[in-house]
Amino acid sequence: MQNAVPLSWYLILSAILFALGVAGFIFRRNIITVFMSIELMLNAVNLSFLTFSYQFKQVDGHIYSFFVMVVAAAEAAVGLAIILTVFKNRATLMIDEVSSMKY
Amino acid sequence: MNVILFLVFAAFSVFCGINLVVQTHPIASALSLIGVMGSLAVLYLLLGGEFIAAAQVIVYAGAIMVLFVFVIMLLNAGAESATFQVSRFVKYFGALLLVAFLGLISFIIQGALPRSGDVIFGAFQGGTALEVGRKLFTTYLLPFEVTSVLILIAIVGAIVLARKEV
């Protein structure tokens, strides 16, 4: 058995996780699960960053992935506060029922 | 060893990712997401990203997921009720299409990178806290400072949004 993983396997794993995140984002109705799907997509992109960072032997990909983490933290804080406010005003977490801007 | 570690943790992360999407209860989804993040941290270590792996566990699996679980508990979010029913055919055909789509993507990536390098644990030593910190405070100093302002705005925004009377 070979003792090294081809680089493309990491990229394929990243693509699979990103596609799963997109599927969850589209098909889930619970706003918190939708939010967690976004986090899954961010994680998948981070894996791509680190893979390319390994390929080019540069540390820049690690920095980008660090910034993605920071932005995800900020996004989680504000997004969950928005979810709290929506729940306080509407008493629901289903995105189908929060549709007053739709028509 | 590299291959075994990669396959085990890649399979675990994909399993947890699927579990995240198919579970109806938000707590189950949150635990699956923690599984994804933990196994991705191991893969980061294999890629030589020691600092990012530690930050992944501390920031993502620690801080952000605690925030998620806290909100789920606070809102007492139960299982998702099926607001719209899809037929069994649509469900299975959709899953089949997703698998086909992933196969196509894998084929394209494999075809685009036929002679990409191999990942060997320990071959790239540039991901230590020393290297990352040096780059972060020299080349990327301005983005770093902008990020701190972003975090400050996010804190203030979260407090304003979650205040008693909005």
In-domain check, residue B31 = yes
In total, how many domains does chain A have?
1
User: What is the predicted pLDDT for the residue at B91?
Assistant: 80
In total, how many domains does chain B have?
1
End-to-end CA distance of chain A: 60
User: What is the predicted pLDDT for the residue at B81?
Assistant: 66
In-domain check, residue A99 = no
Number of Cβ within a 10 Å radius of residue B66: 12
Mean per-residue pLDDT, B119-142? 87
User: Domain of B42?
Assistant: 2-77+118-127
Q: Give the domain CATH number at A35.
A: 1.10.287.3510
pLDDT, tens digit, for every residue of B23-44? 888 899 999 999 999 999 999 9
User: Domain of A58?
Assistant: 29-92
**ipTM here:** 0.90
Long-range contacts of B89-92 (CB under 8 A, 24+ apart): none
* Token pair for A32: 């918190």
Count Cβ atoms within 10 A of the Cβ of residue B137 and give its class: 0-12 exposed, 13-18 middle, 19 or more buried: exposed
* Complete DSSP assignment for B103-156: HHHHHHHHHH-TTPPEE-TTS--TTSHHHHHHHHHHTTHHHHHHHHHHHHHHHH
User: What is the predicted pLDDT for the residue at B127?
Assistant: 81
User: What is the predicted pLDDT for the residue at A1?
Assistant: 52
Facing B21 at nearest CB: one of A2, A23, A59: A23
Under-70 pLDDT residues of chain A: 1-2
| Chain B residue with minimum CA distance to A30 | B80
User: What is the predicted pLDDT for the residue at A2?
Assistant: 64
d(CA A73, CA B162): 16
In-domain check, residue A22 = no
Mean per-residue pLDDT, B111-125? 78
Does the distance separating the beta carbons of A77 and B67 come in below 8 Å? Answer: yes
In-domain check, residue A82 = yes
Q: B83 pLDDT exceeds 60?
A: no
In-domain check, residue B99 = no
Q: Give the domain CATH number at B123.
A: 1.20.120.1200
Q: Name the residue with higher pLDDT: B146 or A5.
A: B146
Give B-chain residues touching A57 at CB under 8 angstroms: 124, 126
Mean per-residue pLDDT, B101-107? 89
Interface test with A, best of B12, B32, B33, B115 (most A CBs within 10 A): B33
H or E element at residue A5: strand A5-6
Crossing angle for the helix pair B2-22 and A7-27, nearest 10 degrees?
A: 10
In-domain check, residue A10 = no
**pTM of the predicted structure, to 2 decimals:** 0.90
